[in-house]
Structure 1
């Protein structure tokens, strides 16, 4: 792998100098529990002090290998040089005017970059927001006003956000939806091609799932009533599910045949994460609208809806926006993030990460019956944990494995509809040495189950 770790501001090493959590983190956790709502949880009981490259340092001086990247946000590394440089310059110029009051060039520049980078050679326009959920909500608004229809089709295992509409779009009840209803109407859920769990086997998955989904849409909703079909090209919180090859093209074709807006939610999978700029490129999918966030701005809050100009222009003037949407500092950070992605060819680095990690994960699966499936692509990889000899989900083993990794200096995240998937989202600038050391920690942790 090409080494860009010299850009990092911290020693690129795993280092444990206290128990995890250490005393300073424990003190801060007590303060958090006293003043922060209990609904705001934490994956690891440590408090970050610094992060750079492929490591995160806590307030006690422990240095963790980072296989989370802030949930696929700091793909270019924490405090990447171009992100800091551009954001700092913008901070010194001005921090806010509201683009709907007096526009500014960085907003336009980000939209220009999105038009260049997103799939398809058609005329494109964008609108910028603060979060992935905002982007999804606005994509639905745009689709509805364009089609003059109301129904939205989503899929099993989907995750699209935590606002009222996006909770309705999300499949998983706990922790995202439980107790928070009622939810927005006119949302309909259909099957997705989940190869590992398709009853008749992965070889039949794409055709059968697509046929069943289209049949349900046609019979239960009516294609003529559907404004949008919304799907993650690689499902994130649902368990890093790659829909079986052929499923996405079939659904996209159905949408096109019936003048339904096809929306690709690339909030977690976009911006080089899967080895391409956007995951939908893997099967040549050109969405009508694409939503992005997370990796777009190197850690600053920014999101976007990008799509066909004639669809994006359906909303009336003033119908899209928000006080902070497309904040100038976040836009400057996004330009720095994209600069870094281009300079270091981060799609290629994501593919290199896969070449390092996937063979070792598969070997671990051969050695440990608790690993039922290894999947993903680029630097968006996962293992699904089951009770050995079955496909029964094992969330307890997944939780125990994550805790053992944390105790040994590796930051990992769990996910999945059944809480039994461990996902790996390292910064794309991580070194091969750290990748392998992180996998060594994972291997030791598996031995404790």
Structure 2
């Protein structure tokens, strides 16, 4: 029996050898860079090896990994305050926020995940000028460390140029002056530029292509009544002038070629629209200037227009359109000048039945006009009737035309009375014409038929 078992044991390998060997699709060698020897000896060193296209299931990162750049920069270029220990609600998250700001190093946005409880920052010191971007996401940020924005002492979530405002969703602070500049040019904190407009053959109307490079809009909403103040500003531009001059807003319209499409090229265009019959109290352009306490603070110049062919043009839309082209008021809101849309003008004295009344201080001229050169032609002043006939005029050579001349400011003059050549006077008896200094020609009116 023992010999039989031994014999079967010796024969069993032969049975296995007799099985069919599977065939490979391509021949695999032992040697070479694609051989089995290389494949069997290759392994991943968990300490220093390189994994190519791995699939990682489960596990956790322990912040010891280095993947070309920091993990935070790979995750949407954001620093999440929660990952640094911030907790929504009343718990002080000051240390976590400070650590997040330090890690961001003015490069990455600092992200506050939304929570209905908001975040409390009681510790740490902030100036409101920290460079970087804060994505606040509508969170309510409170605490002793952020100051009191509503009182003008806010930090962190208050805009640097106006601490009475409170940022709710996004705040950015830039420092373009820290970037070295060449001899010409200027550093710009944020640049938005669109490529030139052009025809687009894919448009529904190939002859029309309108673009807007940047759109900022807001709706005022509802709920306003005479007892509730609801104010909406689409944009608020603030320039704090402290020793150095500056511009709060600059608009450049550069003419690089002729405008050939037949339309207007405009530096600033103010427009509005609404349903017919919607009448509101509105001002298209409002310019105001006052001290912080509301008292009077004069501008050097409220509005300056230079080197323009037509400085101001105003039109009425229809013959029946009422209202004024211009109005001016005194300190008591009394109208002292107006030009209505029928062409009627009143100046200086409100209730005077005169088109123009001059009242200059003693020693000054009520009206003065000067020609520029001896060859300057035209008129200093002209008046017309309803049929465009000249009623009176004074040209720039001193010639005067008056359709009806009445002069009664001197009577009883004699032939030797002091006069200026060209003067003419009349009284009940005579007509006086000054022909030279101090010499009149006198003609009796009885002799004139």
TM-score per shorter chain, which class? under 0.3
When Rg is computed on C-alpha atoms for both structures, the one with the higher figure is 2
* Higher share in helix: 1
Instruction: Return the TM-score normalized by structure 1.
Output: 0.17
Instruction: Return the TM-score normalized by structure 2.
Output: 0.17
Greater length-normalized contact order (CA 8 Å, ≥ 6 residues apart): 1
